[in-house]
Each structure stands twice: as C-alpha cells, then as structure tokens.
Structure 1
Amino acid sequence: MREYSSFEEINTELRTLDLKRKIALEELRSLQYDVKESLQPSAWVTTALKATRKYGILLLVRKIFR
C-alpha cells in the first residue's frame, strides 16, 4: 500500500486513476463497435465471397493444368 505525504499527492493519484478509467471505458466502447460491425451480415457475405473467389480460382488453375 502506498503512503502519501500530502493531499496534493492523493488528488494527483485520484486524477490519474480517473483518467485511466475513462481511457479504459473508451477502449471498451471501441471494441464493442468493432465486434458489432464484424457480426453484421454484410461482413459475413463479404468474407464468404472472398473465400468463394479464392476457391474458384484454385479450381480453375487445377483444371488448366490437368
């Protein structure tokens, strides 16, 4: 446990902790937004189309070289 020698040190520490708490809350809000965006159906469709395109190109290359 930290010992303080003045009220100024206590107030400074409290301000620092308050700012750290606010930063952590903003980071959580940002992560919440990112998760919400990644779970949207449009993101799934885009991912599925990319995977299908890669698989289709692979099949096409296989057919060409057979």
Structure 2
Amino acid sequence: MKAYKNLEEIKYDLKRLSLERQIALEEIKGLKTDIKEDLSPYNWLGTLLSSVKKYGILFLIRKLFR
C-alpha cells in the first residue's frame, strides 16, 4: 500500500487510474468490434469458399488420375 505525503499525490494517482480505466474500456470496445467482424456471415462465407476450392481441386485431381 502506498503512503501519500500530500493531496496532490492522491489527485495525481486518481487521475492516472481514471485515464488507465478509460484506455482499457476503449480497448475492450475495439476487441468487441473485431469479434463482431470475425463472426460475421461474410467472413464465414469466405472461409467456406476457400475450403470448397481447396477440396474441389483435390477431388478433380483424384478424378483425373483414376
């Protein structure tokens, strides 16, 4: 526990902690936006299409060599 010598030190620490809290809240908001974008149907569609292309090409190669 920190021992304070005067009121200015207390005010300084309170202001610093308040700013740190605001920064943390903004970081959480940014993460929320990132998660929303990652879970959007458009991104799922892109992942699905790339998988279909990959396995489709492998399927065609197998068909050609049989």
Relative to the length of structure 1, the TM-score reads: 0.82
Q: Any unmatched runs of 5+ in structure 2?
A: none
Letter in 2 for 1:18: S
SS for the counterpart of 2:53 is helix
Partner of 2:51: 51
Provide the identity percentage. 50
What displacement does 1:37 show?
1.0
Q: Any unmatched runs of 5+ in structure 1?
A: none
Across the two proteins, how many residue pairs are aligned to each other? Answer: 66
2:30 matches 1:26: no
What displacement does 1:56 show?
2.2
Q: How far, CA to CA, are the matches of 2:62 and 2:12 in structure 1?
A: 67
Bigger drift between 29-38 and 48-57 goes to 48-57
RMSD, aligned CA: 1.6
Relative to the length of structure 2, the TM-score reads: 0.82
